[in-house]
Amino acid sequence: MTDTDTIITLVGSRLAKEGEEFVFLGESRECQKCKLKRTCLSLDTGRKYRVVKIRSDTVHECFIHENGVLAVEVVSSPIVAAIDSNKAIAGAKISYEPPKCTDFDDSLYDLIYPEGIKKGDKCVVSNVIENIDEKLLSGCSLKKVELKL
């Protein structure tokens, strides 16, 4: 999915801000009785999205979001992650593998286990951001990158 591939969906009114990012958690039991569930559930569970446009100011009732939901356009959001330095080449198509580091500084947790991507996902290294300080790792050489699914 590229930035031009938008999906229309409904999100909680608190998330309905341009630039807001979220991970879609999937269907809840309360969704079963909602007439709008097909629009809400058009996203892939566990994936990260970014709101790019508010479609209307009309607030729709929701059994989950106490302040209702709004129609928005979203795109797949890039994932910032740590990957093996050997795979960190801008433009490279890779199958995502979490780093095999078992001993790392707590500050790296979100990079080692990023939300929105799973082992085996096909993605592109869209940007190599920086080397990760080896003092924070035990025996691994990692780079911080931006990945696009």
Q: What pLDDT band is residue 2 in, cutting at 50, 70 and 90? A: very low
Pick the residue with more confidence: 5 or 129? 129
* Per-residue tokens: 32: 């079963």
Q: What whole-number distance in Å separates Cα of residue 123 and Cα of residue 140?
A: 22
Give the tens place of pLDDT for each residue, 22-79. 999 999 999 999 999 999 899 999 999 999 999 999 999 999 999 999 999 999 999 9
Pick the residue with more confidence: 136 or 53? 53
Q: What whole-number distance in Å separates Cα of residue 149 and Cα of residue 77?
A: 9
Degrees to nearest 5, angle at CA 76 with 126 and 85: 30
Across 103-121, b (16+ Cβ under 10 Å) vs e yields ebeeebeebbebebbeeeb
